[in-house]
Structure 1
Amino acid sequence: MNEERCKGCGFCVAFCPRHVLEMSERFNVKGYHPPEARRPDDCTGCDLCGHYCPDFAIFGVRNTDGKKNKAENKR
């Protein structure tokens, strides 16, 4: 997740089928609330968050080794 590109639209939160993301309480440099992975163990790496993000600020990565992905809060 590139927090500084995020404008806090919430599309990634709304379209996550596993409800991994929630809007955070903190602000980015633009003054928006970026999302956080509150349930990273539930992330499957489907990348719906990235497909719906109009600012290309977030994306999921699918593992090729068959293991479940884990979303991360990278700051």
Structure 2
Amino acid sequence: MSNSLTLKGVYFMTSITTIRGKCLPHFYPKLCKGCGICIDVCPVKILEFAPEFNERGYHYPRIKPGMEDKCIGCRLCERFCPDLAVYVEVLSS
């Protein structure tokens, strides 16, 4: 009998290429359902819930004030958002 555990749909990232200060997450508040996954997966913890509600009644994410240049461009927020409410813009150098 095997002691290993297999989880369907779970993928492990082994490396991330980052571009600190060269990327900026953007959010589509209308699409967001306030699950907070993007906030949880951000490795540099620059995201938080906005105090405002979207038209569906959910708090949506925003970049913490003063943290705009701290995004490392890993795009985890974008990849894990189940509602496609996040995209990461790569800024020109």
**Scaled by the length of structure 1, what TM-score is found?**
0.78
Structure number with greater Rg is: 2
Q: Would you tell me which structure has more strand in proportion to its own residues?
A: 2
Identity of aligned residues (%): 40
Q: 1:61 & 1:53 partners in 2: Cα distance?
A: 15
| Structure 1 residue runs of 4 or more that deviate by more than 2 Å after TM superposition | none
Structure ranking higher in helix proportion: 1
Counterpart AA for 1:21: L
C-alpha separation in 2, matches of 1:61 and 1:47: 9
Equivalence for 2:43: 17
| Matched residue type, 2:56 | K
Structure 2 unaligned spans of 5+: 1-26
Q: Which runs of 5+ in 1 are unaligned?
A: 68-75
Q: Cα RMSD between the aligned structures?
A: 1.3
Instruction: Using CA pairs under 8 Å that are at least 6 residues apart, name the structure with larger relative contact order, 1 or 2.
Output: 2
Which TM-score applies when normalising by structure 2? 0.64
